[in-house]
């Protein structure tokens, strides 16, 4: 129990047809909310920080918070969307057990070269590595690409990429996107591409980024108390269930869902109790809603409850 890399957890997930939610946090409240859900449901979990969150909270504080709160859980601490070798090295050196190098914006050969450099360093420290092939559209934190720049993962390239880099898991582009407005029309994921990738990489851990479902009850609650989220939409949960229980998608990134839920809780208290100046009161409500959303993901989407 406690912090561990992805090797065994992802292998177990593939064998037993479930996925592990990868939930972004930026402070103690969001971290605690995620871990409360994992504890209650006896679920493995991935807690992750972007480089933006690290700049905000400080990597030493993040390291201390996570180590203090994860002793009795199966937890991966992941760097989300590291852009440089230095980003990944810094995370490895501060106790992260998995790092994601995102060189998907580079050429295929440049992506391979940078990923291989990160893999060699991380593996020497017992840390596993995720990389990305293909480009997702959308904007979230320090990750952005226009719809014109988005491109699906090429299955044959995926096989070559994994073989040449030695990476431990691969984030693929099959139609998910970053941000709170994922589809302008009908939601669609390219399960045909996913199946072709699996043929090329049998039993290999695959990852979906930009996979928040944007729970409409939380959108409505946030809007009820003043948020402007008109048209916010996400990946339908039935599509995520298919990807995680019938395919080898073992890690699913969730960020926007938590942002909206936390915002809904804070807005609710500040609106209904305008006299409050006790930060604990409104932060506690935000934390409550994040825990509810994470529990729903673990039980009804990822099938990870009671798998720790």
236-269 pLDDT, tens digit per residue, is 999 999 999 999 999 999 999 999 999 999 999 9
Structural domain contains residue 174? yes
What is the percent of the chain where pLDDT is above 90? 83
Structure confidence at residue 147 (pLDDT)? 47
Check which CATH number belongs to the domain holding 257 and give it: 3.20.20.70
Active site residue 149: no
Q: In whole angstroms, give the CA distance from residue 42 to residue 265.
A: 25
CA 280, 284, 287 angle in degrees (round to 5)?
140
Domain that holds residue 140: 2-301
Which H or E run includes 81?
Answer: strand 74-82
**% of the chain with per-residue pLDDT over 70:** 93
HSE-CB of 242 using CA atoms within 13 angstroms: 12
**Is the pLDDT confidence value at 166 over 80?**
yes
Residue 213 in any domain: the answer is yes
Residue 307 domain flag = no
For residue 306, being part of any structural domain is answered with no
Residue 184 pLDDT level (bands cut at 50, 70, 90): low
Q: Measure CA of the first residue to CA of the last residue in the chain; give whole Å.
A: 9
Let me know if residue 40 belongs to a domain.
Answer: yes
pTM of this structure: 0.93
User: Total structural domains in the chain?
Assistant: 1
Classify 149 as helix, strand or coil: coil
170: in domain = yes
Model pLDDT, residue 160: 98
CA pair distance 216, 62, nearest whole angstrom: 30
- For the beta carbon of residue 98, count every other beta carbon within 10 angstroms: 29
Let me know if residue 12 belongs to a domain.
yes
The answer to the question of residue 195 being in a domain is yes
181: closest CA among 257, 236, 232? 232
pLDDT in tens, 122-149: 999 999 999 999 877 554 555 544 444 4
Give the least confident one: 226-240, 247-261, 265-279, 281-295: 226-240
Could you tell me if residue 63 is left (phi over 0), alpha (psi between -120 and 50 degrees) or otherwise beta? Answer: alpha
- Among the listed residues 268, 211, 220, 275, the one whose alpha carbon sits nearest the alpha carbon of residue 243: 211
* Residue 67: other Cβ atoms inside 10 A: 14
Q: Which of 80, 102, 255, 257 is catalytic?
A: 80
């Amino acid at each position: 129990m406690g912090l561990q890399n992805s090797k065994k957890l992802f292998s177990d997930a593939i064998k037993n047809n479930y996925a592990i939610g990868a939930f972004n946090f930026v402070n103690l409240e969001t971290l605690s909310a995620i871990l409360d859900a994992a504890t209650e449901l006896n679920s493995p979990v991935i807690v992750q920080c972007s480089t933006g969150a690290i700049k905000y909270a400080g990597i030493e504080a993040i390291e201390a918070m996570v180590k203090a709160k994860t002793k009795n859980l199966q937890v991966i601490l992941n760097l989300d969307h590291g852009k440089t070798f230095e980003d990944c090295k810094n995370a490895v050196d501060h106790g992260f057990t998995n790092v994601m190098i995102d060189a998907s914006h580079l050429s295929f050969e440049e992506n391979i070269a940078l990923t291989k450099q990160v893999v060699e360093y991380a593996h020497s420290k017992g840390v596993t590595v995720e990389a990305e092939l293909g480009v997702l559209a959308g904007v979230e934190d320090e990750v952005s690409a226009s719809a014109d720049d988005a491109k699906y993962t090429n299955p044959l390239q995926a096989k070559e990429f994994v073989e040449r880099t030695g990476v431990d898991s691969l984030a693929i582009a099959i139609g998910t996107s970053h941000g709170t407005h994922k589809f302008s029309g009908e939601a669609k994921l390219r399960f045909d591409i996913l199946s072709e990738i699996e043929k090329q990489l049998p039993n290999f851990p695959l990852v979906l980024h930009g996979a928040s479902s944007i729970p409409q009850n939380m959108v409505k609650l946030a809007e009820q108390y003043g948020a402007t989220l008109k048209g916010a939409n996400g990946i339908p949960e039935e599509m995520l269930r298919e990807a995680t229980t019938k395919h080898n998608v073992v890690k699913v990134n969730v960020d926007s869902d938590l942002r909206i839920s936390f915002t809904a809780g804070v807005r609710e208290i500040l609106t209904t109790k305008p006299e409050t100046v006790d930060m604990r009161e409104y932060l506690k409500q935000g934390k409550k809603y994040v825990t509810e959303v994470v529990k729903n993901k673990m039980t009804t989407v990822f099938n990870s409850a009671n798998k720790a």
